[in-house]
Structure 1
Amino acid sequence: MGTENRQASKAMGDDNAVEYRNINEVPSPTAQNLKKISTLPLIFLIFYEVSGGALGAEDSVGAAGPLLALIGFLVFPLIWSVPEALITAEMGTMFPEDGGYVVWVSSTLGPYWGFQQGWMKWLSGVIDNALYPVLFLDYLESAIPVLGGGFPRVIAVLGLTIVLTFMSYRGLTIVGRVAVLLGVFSLLPFVVMGFVAIPKLKPSRWFVVNLHDVDWNLYLNTLFWNLNYWDSISTLTGEVENPKKTLPKSLFSALILVVVGYFFPLLVGTGAVPLDRELWTDGYFADIAKILGGVWLQWWMLCAAAVSNIGMFLAEMSSDSFQLLGMAELGMLPDFFARRSHHGTPLIGILFSASGVIVLSWLNFQEIIAAENFLYCFGMILEFIAFILLRIKYPAASRPYKIPLGTIGSILMCIPPTILICFVLALSSLKVAIVSLIAVFIGLIMHPSLKYVEKKRWVKFSVSADLPNLHGADHESAESLVPISISAN
C-alpha cells in the first residue's frame, strides 16, 4: 500500500509530498479484539475530561461575584466550549484514530509541529491530573485530619495515584463503566440540594456585581479550567465504537450535561445563601449543602467531590496515555510506547503519565491551573490553524460530521476563542509564563533529539497509523480519502 501511494504522489507531481513507508509488524491481537467504548460511557468520559461536576467552580463567585459567575458559565461555553466541541467532532470523525489532535496538526503542519502539539497537550494533561489526588485528599481531610500534611499525606498521594493508575491499566471499558457510576453519584447531591433550597431562594442575590472588585485573572482561569479539554477525548477515538456517529452525539450530550452541571448548583448556591465572597473557594459547596440540608447532605457532597476527582483522574489518565500510544504509531515516539498490555491499554504511556503526576502533585493549586492553561492555549492555537487549513486546502476530504457553517463561518467561529486565548495568556503571571515557555522550549529541542536517536538506531521507531492521503485530496472527486501510512521523517 505504501509503494502504491508513493507512486500516486509522484504521478500527481507533488514534490513536497510527505514520505510514506510501512512496517511489517502486525498490531497486537489484543488491540484488534478490544471491546470498544459505547455512547453512554463516552459521554461520561467526556464529562470527566472537561468537568466532573460543579466542585471547582466556586472560585468564579469569589473572584467576580454571583452575576458574573452565572453569566460566565452561560456565555463562556458559547465562546469556547461549543467551538472546541464542534471542531473535535469534525476532526475526530475525519481522523478516527488514537492520537487525536496530534494527527490533525501533523497532517497539515507536519510532524515537527504535530510533536509540539503532543508535548504541550500531554504536559498540560499531566499537570491537570496532578490536581486530582491532592483535591481528593483535601476533601477527606476534614474527616481524617492526619491527611493534612507530613508523611501520611505523601503516602496517601502516592498510594491513591498507584491505585487509580492500576484501574486505568485494567482497560477503558472498566474506566467507562466506573465513570458512569461516579458521574451519577457525584451529580445527585446537587439535585437534592436544589430541591431543599427552593424555599430559601432570593433571586435578587443573583444580580450582585461590583466591576471595580473583580479578580479577572482568577475569574478567567477558573472558567477556562472548568470548561476546556473537549478535544482530549479525541486521543481515544480509535477505541470508540463507531466513532463517526458516536463521537458527535456524545460531545453534544456531554456539553449539555456540563453546562447544566455548573449553572444549576451556582444558581442554587448564590440564591439560597447570603453572599460572602471570601468563603467562595474550593469546597464551599459542601458548606452550602450543610447550611441548606444538614450534615448528611454535606457528607454526601464531600463524598461526591472525592469520587468526582477519581473520575477526572481516570479520564485524563486514559487520554494522556493513549495520546502517547498514538504518537508512537506516528513514529514520533519510540516503538515501545505503542505496545499494549493484555488489557489493551498503553502500559508505557500509563507509567510515564503516572510518573509525571507524582512529580507535579506538590505544586501550588492556582499555579497548576495557570500553567496548564498557558500550555493548553498554545496547543489550541495549533488546532485552530490545522482545522482552518484542512477546510481551505482539502475541501474534498471525507468529513462524516461537518460543522454546518461553511468555510468562512468556521473561520469566524475560531475568532472569539482565539481572542480569549490572548486574554488568558496576557493575564498570566510572569512566573507562570517563564515556566511554561521553558516547557515549550524543551519540546522544541526534544523532537530533533529524538530524530537523532532514531537516525543512530539507538531506539526502535515504527510507523503504523493509517492516515488519509491529504496530498491527493484536491485531485479526487470522491468524498473519501485514500488511507496511507505517514512517516515522521
Structure 2
Amino acid sequence: MIGGDEENGLNDARFLVDLQFSTKNLLHETRGFRDRALRLTLRFRADVSSSAMRFYYLTFFKMKFGKPSEGRANQTSVEMREYNNGSDSEYIRIDESPPSPKTTHGQRVSVLPLVFLIFYEVSGGPFGVEDSVKAAGPLLALLGFLLFPIIWSIPEALMTAEMGTMFPENGGYVVWVSSALGPFWGFQQGWMKWLSGVIDNALYPVLFLDYLKSGIPELGGGFPRAAAIVALTLLLTYMNYRGLAIVGWVAVVLGAISILPFAVMSLISIPKLRPERWFVVDSGDVDWNLYLNTLFWNLNYWDSISTLAGEVENPKKTLPKALFFALILVVLGYFFPLLSGIGAVPLQRDLWTDGYFSDVARILGGAWLTWWVQGAAAMANMGMFLAEMSSDSFQLLGMAERGMLPELFSRRSRYGTPVVGILFSASGVLLLSWLSFQEIVAAENFLYCFGMMLEFVAFVRLRVVSPAAARPYRVPVGTAGAAAMCVPPTVLMCAVMAFSSAKVMAVSLVAVTVGVALYPCLKRCGENGWLRFPRHVSGFQSQ
C-alpha cells in the first residue's frame, strides 16, 4: 500500500510526464502548422493581401507591422507602426474592418451613385464659379479651372483613393490621421473638417435663393427668405434621414438635371462666340483673395467621400473608379460653361457674381433657358446639400465607432442613417446660413486648409512607417514621389490662408482653439463615466 502523500506525489509525477509529452506534441503540431502556413504564403504570395493569408503572415512571421494583434470578436485587425501620442507602446492597432454597420444596414452604394455623390460634394455644376471672372478677368478664370485641378484636385483625389481603400470604413480622413499621428490629431482633424463641412453646407440654401430671386424677388430678403431657408433645410435633412442609397440615386437624377441646360447653352453659344474675349487679362486689377478662394472652394472636398467608405459596395475597387469619373465630370462641367459665357456675352466683370449664369442664359436663349438654368441651380444646390450632409453625418458616426465621440452618435435609424449626426449638421447649417456667400467661402476654406495639411502629413507618414501595409489602390509613385506630390497643394493652401482677411483668420483660430479644448474635456468625461463611449483602442474609454 502506498501512503496518501506518496500517492499524491506519484500522481503529480505522472501529471508532469503527461504535461511534458503534451507540450512536445503541441510544439510539434505548431511547427507543422507554421511550416504549412509558410508554404501557403510562398505559394500564394501574390494573394497575401487576403484576410486569411494576412493572418498567417502577421501572426507567424511578424513582418514590419509589429506585434501580432490580439483577437477581437467579429473583427479583423492589422498591426501597423503608428505614432501613439502619450502611449507607452510604439504600436497601436489600425482596425481594418471595425464592427461595421455597412453589412447590416440598408443598401450599399454602387459606382454610379458614388460618382454623383462625389460630383456634388466637390462641384454640382458651374454655380458659384462666376466670382472667378469678377476677381481676375476671363483669362485667369479659364486658366484657373484648367491648372488648379492639376495642382490640387488630382493630388487630393489620388490620396483619397489610396487612403480610402486602405481604411474602408466610416470616418475616412479621421481614421487616416489617427493612425498616422495619434488620436489627438485625429480628433482635431475630425473637428475642423466637420466644421468646415457644415459651413460649406450653409452655402447651398443661400445659393439656391440667389438663383431664384431674379424670378421671385420676395426671396431676396426678410421673412420670406428666412422661411425658405428653414423649410429647405428641413426638407433636405429629412431626405438624408431616409437613407444613403436614396440620396445617391437622387444625386444621379439631380446631376442630369443640373448638367443638361449648360450643355444646351454651350451649343447655342457657338455662333456668338468671340474667342478674343477669352484672352482678356488685367493683372493690375486682380482680387487674389476672392480668386483663390473661389477656385479652392469649387475644386476641393475630394476627400469627403472617404467618410462614407463603410457604406460603399466593394470600396477597394469602386472608390478609385468613381473618383476618376467624377474628376472628369467636374472639370468639364466648369470649363465649358465658362468658355461659353465669357466668349458669347460682352464682358462686364462687375456683373459676374453668384447667380450670373441665369443672366447669361437669358441673353443667349431667352426666358425659357433662364428658367431652366435657375431650376437646374436649385436642383444642384439640393444635390450638394444632400451629399455634404451625408458626408458630415457619417463622419460623426465613424468617429463614434472609433470611440472619439459619445455612443449616442453611433446610433442609426431604421434606414441605417446616423440620426444624431444629421441633427447636429442640420443645426449648424441653420445657424450659419445667414452669412454672405463670400464670408462663408473664406471661413470654410481656412479651416479646410488646416485639415488638409494633417491629411497630407498622414499620407506621407504612413508611406514611411508602413510601406508594406495592404493598399488595394496605391498611387504609382514611391515615398519620395508621394511627398513631392503633396508640395504644390501645400503651397497653394498657404497662399489661400495668407490672403484671408484678419476677420476670417481670427474666427478660424477661435474654432481651432475650441477643438483643442474639446479633446481633453471629452477624454475626462469618458474616464469618469460621465459620457458613454464605444470601446476602441484609439477612443475615450468609459469607466
Matched, 1:157 2:226: no
| Secondary structure in structure 2 of the residue aligned to 1:405 | coil
Query: Does the CA contact (< 8 Å) of 1:57 and 1:282 recur in 2?
Result: yes
| Secondary structure in structure 2 of the residue aligned to 1:414 | helix
| Distance in 1 between residues matched to 2:131 and 2:210, nearest whole Å | 16
Trace 1:226-237 onto structure 2 (pairs within 5 A). Answer: 226-237=298-309
Q: In the alignment, which of 243, 262, 265 is matched to residue 334 of structure 2?
A: 262
Deviations 1:196-254 (A, max 9, x none): 11110111111100101111110000000000000000000000000000000000100
- The unaligned stretches of length 5 or more in structure 2 are 1-67, 73-77, 80-86
Query: Does the CA contact (< 8 Å) of 1:18 and 1:487 recur in 2?
Result: no
Query: Does the CA contact (< 8 Å) of 1:290 and 1:298 recur in 2?
Result: yes
Instruction: Report the Cα offset of residue 105 of structure 1.
Output: 0.1
Matched, 1:68 2:166: no
Matched, 1:287 2:359: yes
| Distance in 1 between residues matched to 2:94 and 2:479, nearest whole Å | 32
Match of 1:341 in 2: 413
Query: Does the CA contact (< 8 Å) of 1:139 and 1:283 recur in 2?
Result: yes
Query: Does the CA contact (< 8 Å) of 2:171 and 2:398 recur in 1?
Result: yes
Trace 1:152-191 onto structure 2 (pairs within 5 A). Answer: 152-191=224-263
| Distance in 2 between residues matched to 1:151 and 1:18, nearest whole Å | 57
Query: Does the CA contact (< 8 Å) of 1:203 and 1:271 recur in 2?
Result: yes
Which AA in structure 2 matches 1:405?
A: V
Match of 1:468 in 2: none
Instruction: Report the Cα offset of residue 145 of structure 1.
Output: 2.3
Q: In the alignment, which of 357, 376, 394 is matched to residue 466 of structure 2?
A: 394
Deviations 1:322-373 (A, max 9, x none): 0000000111100010111000000000000000000111112111100000
Match of 1:475 in 2: none
Match of 2:89 in 1: 16
TM-score, scaled relative to structure 1: 0.91
Instruction: Report the Cα offset of residue 17 of structure 1.
Output: 3.7
Which AA in structure 1 matches 2:261?
A: P
- The unaligned stretches of length 5 or more in structure 1 are 465-484
Instruction: Report the Cα offset of residue 463 of structure 1.
Output: 3.0
Q: Using CA pairs under 8 Å that are at least 6 residues apart, name the structure with larger relative contact order, 1 or 2.
A: 1
| Distance in 1 between residues matched to 2:103 and 2:470, nearest whole Å | 25
Q: In the alignment, which of 110, 113, 119 is matched to residue 185 of structure 2?
A: 113
Query: Does the CA contact (< 8 Å) of 2:183 and 2:538 recur in 1?
Result: no
| Distance in 1 between residues matched to 2:324 and 2:522, nearest whole Å | 38
| Distance in 2 between residues matched to 1:43 and 1:21, nearest whole Å | 28
Identity of aligned residues (%): 68
Match of 2:346 in 1: 274
Match of 1:133 in 2: 205
Trace 1:194-205 onto structure 2 (pairs within 5 A). Answer: 194-205=266-277
Query: Does the CA contact (< 8 Å) of 1:21 and 1:487 recur in 2?
Result: no
Match of 1:321 in 2: 393
| Secondary structure in structure 2 of the residue aligned to 1:137 | helix
Q: 1:487 to 1:453 in 2, by over 3 A?
A: closer
Q: How many equivalent pairs are there?
A: 461
Query: Does the CA contact (< 8 Å) of 2:120 and 2:251 recur in 1?
Result: yes
Deviations 1:236-293 (A, max 9, x none): 0000000000000000100000000000001111111111111111111111111111
Moved more, 143-152 or 285-294: 143-152
RMSD value, Cα: 2.0
| Secondary structure in structure 1 of the residue aligned to 2:394 | helix
Matched, 1:372 2:452: no
Match of 1:443 in 2: 515
Q: Which one has a bigger Cα radius of gyration?
A: 2
Instruction: Report the Cα offset of residue 20 of structure 1.
Output: 6.5
Instruction: Report the Cα offset of residue 141 of structure 1.
Output: 1.8
| Secondary structure in structure 2 of the residue aligned to 1:400 | coil
| Distance in 1 between residues matched to 2:461 and 2:253, nearest whole Å | 40
Q: 1:21 to 1:398 in 2, by over 3 A?
A: closer
Moved more, 402-411 or 137-146: 137-146
Match of 2:315 in 1: 243
